[in-house]
Structure 1
Amino acid sequence: MEPEPARSTVYFDGSCPLCRAEIGYYSRTDQAGALCFVDVSQTGAEPPAGLTQRQALERFHVCAGDGRVLSGAAAFVEVWRRLPRWRWAARVASLPGALAVLELGYRMFLPVRPFISRGLGRILQRKAAAVGQESGGA
């Protein structure tokens, strides 16, 4: 199988602790540099073609190496396809009906994402404060 000529660009909400954690994982896993990451929550960040910054923040988007802008579950499948350890998940997602089920799950997740993210953010803040106290008090 030949490598793709262009990297896929991942657009993510860097103001979301959950999103940052997931993108951090993908970034560390991307040994080949197949993905480029754009935090669309940053002032001046360019969202994918045809989308506003608000639209880009509301859902996960990826611009595939061939120029297609993918959203939601299809965007995750593109990321998985580009990461060797996750290609099995992309193959499963290609089974008949699988992408529709993944998209339904993603749409059900979106309304609860802010609550999960806030909870994760609080946990990470407490953890950082504890680490700061340990290093400052020693």
Structure 2
Amino acid sequence: MSPDLPLTLYVDRSCPLCAREVRWLERQADPARLLLVDISAPDFNPDGLGRELSQLQRRLHARSASGQWLTGVDATYWSWRLAGHGVWAAPLGWRPLRPLLLLAYWLFSLARPHLDWLPHPDGASRCGTQCNLADKPHAMPGRADKPD
């Protein structure tokens, strides 16, 4: 079932790879369907979201207009679809691929804090120390013991 619109996607524009994806989404995203909020902006405050900044940094989060949270692969799938990139999003919705996609996303979430060496699309590396997330254990995808 599709999420209630607009879907708010919490993105980290300080991450070079993430910033590239955000630009890709922005090219076609209709703000009535997909809102992009930069969690690395100095004025971003997660109070009232029911999530801590560290959670938003570890996994991609999206929230529907009705308050339903989507994370990881699901947040990616719906944000890509709503931005008009349905052809690219389609494989993310294929059930037989889901276990592999969840594992791949989990591995990516472990590697993402170490991608600060990539060139940032804004020219300079903006990531710095904010990409070095606290050393916390990452739960495997599908585990109920991690509230992300």
Per the normalisation by structure 2, the TM-score is 0.68
Aligned residue in 1 for 2:91 = 92
- How far apart are the structure 2 equivalents of 1:96 and 1:119? 32
Once the two structures are superposed, residues 108-135 of structure 1 have per-residue CA deviations (whole angstroms, 9 ceiling, x without a partner) of 1122223333222499339xxxxxxxxx
2:68 pairs with 1:63: no
**Displaced runs of 4 or more, over 6 A:** none
Structure 1 or 2: more helix by fraction? 1
Once the two structures are superposed, residues 4-28 of structure 1 have per-residue CA deviations (whole angstroms, 9 ceiling, x without a partner) of 8631101011221221121111011
Superposition RMSD in Å: 2.9
Once the two structures are superposed, residues 30-59 of structure 1 have per-residue CA deviations (whole angstroms, 9 ceiling, x without a partner) of 146421111112234243722101211121
Which structure has the higher relative contact order (CA within 8 Å, separation 6+)? 2
Any stretches of 5+ residues in structure 1 without a counterpart?
A: 127-138
Any stretches of 5+ residues in structure 2 without a counterpart?
A: 126-148
Aligned length: 123
Larger radius of gyration: 1
2:51 pairs with 1:51: yes
Change (3 A) 1:93 1:19: closer
- How far apart are the structure 1 equivalents of 2:13 and 2:121? 16
8 Å Cα contact 1:11-1:37 kept in structure 2: yes
